[in-house]
């Protein structure tokens, strides 16, 4: 793992590289795309959830009693619809009892400005670690809108987990909300004139859900 900046954690690992090539490849079909999206999320989860507090518990093995540690923090995952759903199962599998809030945002195809069409958030945001799930951080407009919604609803601690991040999106989020830590598999070169990430992987939601 290496840090690209104080607030961005870039996960460097050969397994990440391997899955990124599969996701980027224009010839990768829906099933393979989904499999690698899940694998990458599992790896990201190790880093996003790395410093969660734990508490000691007792556990009985088939042979004897022992002490172990379990996560001792309320966690709320917030997938940004639709593409964020691709990360939800893999990430939440690690955290029994986690809650899920939904934020529906869609970028206008010509302006690339995200508009909100749905939101449903759990009540306990103030006492929880809120983890936004969105595989693509491009202009940062969607992430910014989600962070601001969570803060309006009294979220205390917020992290963002993504797969591909553009410098533009990282810059916007760092400037407006420097308290939000970003975790990504890679930082790409930049955006094209349609605000797609370059070299990127195209439209994540379309490729994951087979809607191309």
Looking at the annotation, which residues are catalytic? Answer: 107, 111, 203, 206
Minimum distance of ligand URA from residue 65's CB (angstroms) = 50
114 part of the interface to ligand PRP, by CB under 6 A = yes
- Of 154-183, which residues contact ligand PRP (CB under 6 A)? 169
**Binding ligand PRP by CB under 6 A: which of 36, 99, 107, 181?**
107
For residue 108, give both structure tokens.
């206008």
**Binding ligand URA by CB under 6 A: which of 136, 150, 162, 180?**
136
Q: Are strands 102-107 and 114-120 parallel, antiparallel or unpaired?
A: antiparallel
Q: With 0-12 CB in 10 A as exposed, 13-18 as middle and 19+ as buried, what is 78?
A: buried
Minimum distance of ligand PRP from residue 10's CB (angstroms) = 17
Strand partners, 106: 115
* DSSP secondary structure of the chain: -EEEETTEEE---HHHHHHHHHHH-TT--HHHHHHHHHHHHHHHHHHHTTT--EEEEEEE-SS-EEEEEEE-S-EEEEEEETTTHHHHHHHHTTSTT-EE-EEEEEE-TTT--EEEEEEE--TTGGGSEEEEE-SEESSSHHHHHHHHHHHHTT--EEEEEEEEE-HHHHHHHHHH-TTSEEEEEEE-SEE-TT--EES--S-HHHHHHT--
Q: Which entry of ligand URA, ligand PRP, none binds 134, CB below 5 to 8 A by partner kind?
A: ligand PRP
102 part of the interface to ligand URA, by CB under 6 A = no
28 part of the interface to ligand PRP, by CB under 6 A = no
Handedness of CA 166, 172, 175, 179 (dihedral sign): negative
Contact segment (CB under 6 A) with ligand URA among 50-58, 68-76, 122-130, 199-207 equals: 199-207
The owner of tokens 């990458």 is 40
106 part of the interface to ligand URA, by CB under 6 A = no
Binding mask of the shown chain, residues 127 to 156, with x at each position contacting ligand PRP by CB under 6 A:
-------xxxxxxxxxx-------------
78 part of the interface to ligand URA, by CB under 6 A = no
- Of 41-100, which residues contact ligand PRP (CB under 6 A)? 80-83
Q: Which entry of ligand URA, ligand PRP, none binds 196, CB below 5 to 8 A by partner kind?
A: ligand URA
The residues of the shown chain that bind ligand URA, judged by CB under 6 A, are: 136, 138, 196-197, 200, 203-205
Contacts with ligand PRP by CB under 6 A lie at 80-83, 105-107, 112, 114, 134-143, 169, 195, 203-205
């Amino acid at each position: 793992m290496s840090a690209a900046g104080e607030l961005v954690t870039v996960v460097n690992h050969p397994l990440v590289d391997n899955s990124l090539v599969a996701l980027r490849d224009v010839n990768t079909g829906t099933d393979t795309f989904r499999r690698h999206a899940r694998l990458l999320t599992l790896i990201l989860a190790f880093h996003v959830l790395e410093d969660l507090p734990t508490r000691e518990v007792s556990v009985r093995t088939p042979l004897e009693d022992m002490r172990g540690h379990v996560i001792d923090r309320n966690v709320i995952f917030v997938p940004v619809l639709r593409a964020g759903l691709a990360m939800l199962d893999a990430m939440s599998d690690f955290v029994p009892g986690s809650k899920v809030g939904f934020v529906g945002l869609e970028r206008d195809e010509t302006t690339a400005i995200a508009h909100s069409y749905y939101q449903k958030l759990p009540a306990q945001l103030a006492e929880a670690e809120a983890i936004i799930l969105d595989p693509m951080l491009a202009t940062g407009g969607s992430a910014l809108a989600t962070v601001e919604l969570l803060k309006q609803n009294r979220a205390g601690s917020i992290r963002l987990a993504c797969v591909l991040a553009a410098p533009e999106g990282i810059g916007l989020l760092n400037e407006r909300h420097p308290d939000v830590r970003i975790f990504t598999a890679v930082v790409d070169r930049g955006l094209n004139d349609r605000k797609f990430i370059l070299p990127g992987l195209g439209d994540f939601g379309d490729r994951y859900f087979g809607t191309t």
